[in-house]
Amino acid sequence: MRTVLVGAVDSTKIALEILVKHGVAPLALFTLPPSKSSHHSDYVDLEPVAAKYGVTVLPATNVNEPDVLEQIRSLEPDYIFVIGWSQICRPEFLSIPKIGCIGCHPAAIPENRGRGVIPWTILQGCSETGISLFWLDEGADSGDLILQEKFSVATDETATTLYKKHGYYLEKILNEAVASLVAGQIPQIPQDHRQATYCAKRTADDGFIDWNLPAKSIWTLIRAVTKPYPGAFTFYKGNKLVIWSAEYIGEAPYWGLPGQVQALVDHGALVQCGDHNHLLLKTCQLENQPENNANVLLKNHEKLGIDLLGLYKRITKGGNL
């Protein structure tokens, strides 16, 4: 069984180790070079682990480019595993392997096809999600299923903890799937396309915090886009401030403005939101500075967010933006 692996994140590392474990190590790993690591917020340099197993590493930024297609074609794979690679594989790519291309998606498709699925799972308030192995086709996450595992989402789930859960269940179902393929079994379970839903692409800018929103909405955003993603952010004294962790507090004996620091306590800074409920900001990071506790970085009664009044004054006085 001849395999090729494409990917550039932690799930790719899991796939590589499982293929090796089952005696079908990839003939080559196609991955992003470190110079292009910004293409994935959760990028992992896979060269060290590939070297450990004697797997050839070939750089690629677009698997649909003619030179990459030719390299893959020359390997004559039975299967191509595309695990941890956010790019649609075009028909010419899909036609290369003798049997097929296998993808992985962090949801129980046909639900939540598309992009940014782990953040969207938290933003949707899902109590359950899943991970799916499927045959790639020309659509977006629309191919027949190989295996799928569903699991629960905690009420205080973060992107960090959910990402780890996906890694755990990927290892579980990929072990089972590769064993089946080695044995000559090729599962194909059609999806019910009538049940399909789709998640839109997310960018770092989507982590911007509007302090006029209810505290639970802001807390959910912070949890959804924390590491390995770029993080929820606001501004403090004109500087970008990323909030990596926070706790929902709710009512507190303070009256202030949305985004205003109401109290500094042992574990962080209490901030009021648009519904007069409160969040405890814990770990934060000012731009170009190390992470720190919010009670070290912030001052009592200071306001977070964009200073629109100050901006207006600068404009009306002829100042530069």
pLDDT (tens digit per residue) in 122-165: 999 999 999 999 999 998 899 999 999 999 999 999 999 999 99
Percent pLDDT > 70 in the chain is 97
What average pLDDT does this structure show over 224-253? 96
Other CB atoms within 10 A of residue 94 CB? 18
Here the tokens at position 170 are 């990927």
Task: Check pLDDT > 80 for residue 318.
Answer: no
| Confidence band for 319, pLDDT divided at 50, 70 and 90 | low
Average pLDDT over residues 289-294: 96
- Taking residues 98-107, what's their average pLDDT? 97
- CA pair distance 198, 141, nearest whole angstrom: 10
Q: For residues 198 and 64, give the distance between their C-alpha atoms in angstroms, rounded to a whole number.
A: 24
Angle subtended by helix axes 159-182 and 10-21, to nearest 10: 30
Listed in order, strand segments (DSSP E) in the chain are 3-6, 29-31, 57-59, 79-82, 100-105, 113-114, 128-135, 145-152, 198-199, 232-236, 239-250, 261-265, 268-272, 278-286, 292-293
Q: Which two tokens stand for residue 183?
A: 């044995």
DSSP state of 271: E
- Mean pLDDT throughout 27-45? 88
Is the confidence at residue 205, as pLDDT, over 80?
yes
- Classify the phi-psi angles of 55: left when phi > 0, otherwise alpha if psi is within -120 to 50, otherwise beta: beta
All residues at 6 or more sequence positions from 61 whose CB lies less than 8 Å from its CB, including other chains: 32, 33, 36, 39
Indicate left, alpha or beta for 94 from its phi (over 0: left) and psi (-120 to 50: alpha).
Answer: alpha
pLDDT of amino acid 311: 66
Domains and CATH numbers, the chain: 3-199 (3.40.50.170), 204-311 (3.10.25.10)
pLDDT value at position 259? 97
pLDDT at residue 310 tops 80: no
Once rounded to an integer, what is the mean pLDDT over residues 98-115? 97
For position 314, what pLDDT does the model report? 67
**pLDDT tens column, 160-177:** 999 999 999 999 999 999
pLDDT tens digit sequence for 45-101: 999 999 999 999 999 999 999 999 999 999 999 999 999 998 889 999 999 999 999
Residues 6+ apart with CB under 8 A from 73: 96
How does strand 198-199 pair with strand 128-135? unpaired
Predicted confidence at residue 312, as pLDDT, reads 67
For 20, other C-beta atoms within 10 Å of its C-beta total 17
Residue 116 has pLDDT above 80, yes or no: yes
| Residue in the block written with tokens 């992992």 | 44
Closest by CA to 296, choosing from 271, 272, 268, is 268
How confident is the model at residue 148, as a pLDDT? 97
Residue 290: per-residue pLDDT: 96
Q: Give the pLDDT confidence score for residue 37 in this predicted structure.
A: 80
Q: Does 287 score more than 70 pLDDT?
A: yes
Chain-wide mean pLDDT for the chain?
A: 94
- Coil, helix or strand for 279? strand
